Every structure is written in C-alpha cells, then in structure tokens.
Amino acid sequence: MDITNCQHPNHDSQRIKYVCVDPQCSIPKKIGCADCFLDDHITHIRKTTTQFKDFVNESILQINAIEFQQATNSPQKDLTKEIDGELDNCIECIKLKFNTIKGDLKGQIDNDIIKMQDNCAQFQQNMNNELQPFRTTIKNDLHILNQNEINSLVKFYQEAPKIQKHYNKAVEQIQEEKQKIKQKKQKYLTKMRSIMQILLKDFNELMTTKNVQYDDYCDYETPQKQVMSPNKMINLVETARSSRRFPMSQIQKKQFLSAVTKKLE
C-alpha cells in the first residue's frame, strides 16, 4: 500500500498533496488529495505538503535559533555597569568629603606641630645660650678666675633652682601643646566616626522597604506600598491570560470584579 496516495475509494488513488492550515478548520483530517480538499476543505487555506514541511522545518530552525542567554546577558551587563557606576560615584563623593576632613585635620596638626617644634627649638637655644658661658667658665680652676667670673658663677649658683624651674615650666608648656594636638586629632577622628555612623544609619533607613517611596508605576513596588484598584487588577489578570490565549469573558470579568471589590471591602 502506497501511503503517499489517497486511500479514499472514489479518489482514484490520487497523490496526497495538500495540508489544511486554516485556523477555522474543524475537520479532523487535515491532509489529503485534491478531491479530499474539494469535499472537505474547499474554502480553507491550504499548503502543499512540500510547502508545509518546508515551513515547519524553517520555523523549527528559527525558533531554535532564539538565544535566551544572549537576551539576558545584555541587560544584565548594562545594569551591572550602571549599578557599578552609581556606586563608584557614591563612594567617590564620600571619599572626597572624608579626604577634605582629613586634609583639614592634617593641615591644622602640621601647623601646630611646626609651631610646637619652633617653640621647643627656641627654648633649647635660649637654654644653651644661657648655660654656655658657665660651662666654659666652670671648666677652669676657681683660683685662676677673675672676680667677675667668680661673681657670675656665684650668681648662677644662687639662681640655678629658679633657672631650672623656668625651663621645666617650658617643657611642661611644650607637653601641653603636644597634648592639645592629640586632643584636636581625637576630636576630628570622633567627628569622622560620628559622620560615618550617621551615614550608615541613614543608609539603612533608606534601604528598608518601609521607608522607600515608589511611584504608582514602579516595577519594584511592593504590595505593602501599592494599593491596586479592582479595574487595574482585572487588567493585570486579563493581560496575563491573554498572553496565554485564555482571555476572560465578560461574565468572568464581572465575577472577578465582584470578588475583588468584596475582598477589598
């Protein structure tokens, strides 16, 4: 039996040549010879078997060529690039602010340290200038010194405690200046920590869902923040059903609207 020929007893074993592709066709048998189509598919859209096979094969190839990974890679790459750009910008802004604070602190501390070092050097020089004559004189035997030299050493002997107290006080003054520099540095560090804590607190509050306000058309809006009207819900459901070729009838729409309205009340 040649299956490529029609088996209908009245069709003279004609070659099976056509396939019905009419979407309105309800005839179970979709393939047949010319007489089959004259009997059952006279007004229907038809294709030859060769055309039909070629179209199906070509459609399979075209559909199979669709690359889902490529479709998702591009947006993901663009989104990642955009997010990275925004984050880098935020980080740079924060770094700029903290670098400004650090530069201000460093500038002030450097000036204070230079001032302290200058004061220290000046006290050291004054002390050396004051002691140097006595260092030179006291190296000699006392009996060979003249009266002025002896009187000078005697005066130094009498005032040595006072001179020592004076320079001890100068050392204390330098130490106080050093402590003030440490306190200033600590004050700035505390300020920077405080700013960071405020930034982190604000960041955490802004990133929690309950504090993020979205507009009515935001794709990421949560059910807690969005109040959807019944008609909007129907449109949403209708769109989903339409994409699956199961649109809601008018009766179903009324029933759905009634149920949603009752639920919202």
| pLDDT 10s digits, 245-264 | 445 566 655 655 665 555 44
Listed in sequence order, the residues at least 6 apart from 215 whose beta carbon sits closer than 8 Å to its beta carbon are 221
Of 27, 16, 100, 96, nearest in space to 52 by CA: 16
| pLDDT 10s digits, 169-200 | 999 999 999 998 888 888 888 888 888 888 88
Domain ranges of the chain: 18-64, 75-208
CA distance 28 to 33: 15
pLDDT at 238: 54
Strand order in the sheet with 46-48: 31-32, 18-20, 46-48
Write phi, then psi, for 184 (nearest 5 degrees): -65, -45
Q: Is-contact 113 177, C-beta < 8 A? A: no
What tens-digit pLDDT sequence spans the chain (265 residues)? Answer: 557 899 899 998 999 999 999 999 999 999 999 999 998 998 999 999 999 999 999 999 999 888 776 666 555 566 677 778 888 888 888 888 888 888 888 888 889 899 999 999 999 999 999 999 999 999 999 889 899 999 999 999 999 999 999 999 999 999 999 998 888 888 888 888 888 888 888 878 877 755 544 444 444 444 444 444 555 555 555 554 454 444 556 665 565 566 555 544 5
- Tell me, letter by letter, the H, E, C secondary structure of 51-104: HHHHHHHHHHHHHHCCCHHHHHHHHHHHHHHHHHHHHHHHHHHHHHHHHHHHHH
Listed in sequence order, the residues at least 6 apart from 113 whose beta carbon sits closer than 8 Å to its beta carbon are 181
CA distance 172 to 177: 9
CA distance 133 to 140: 12
pTM assigned to the model: 0.43
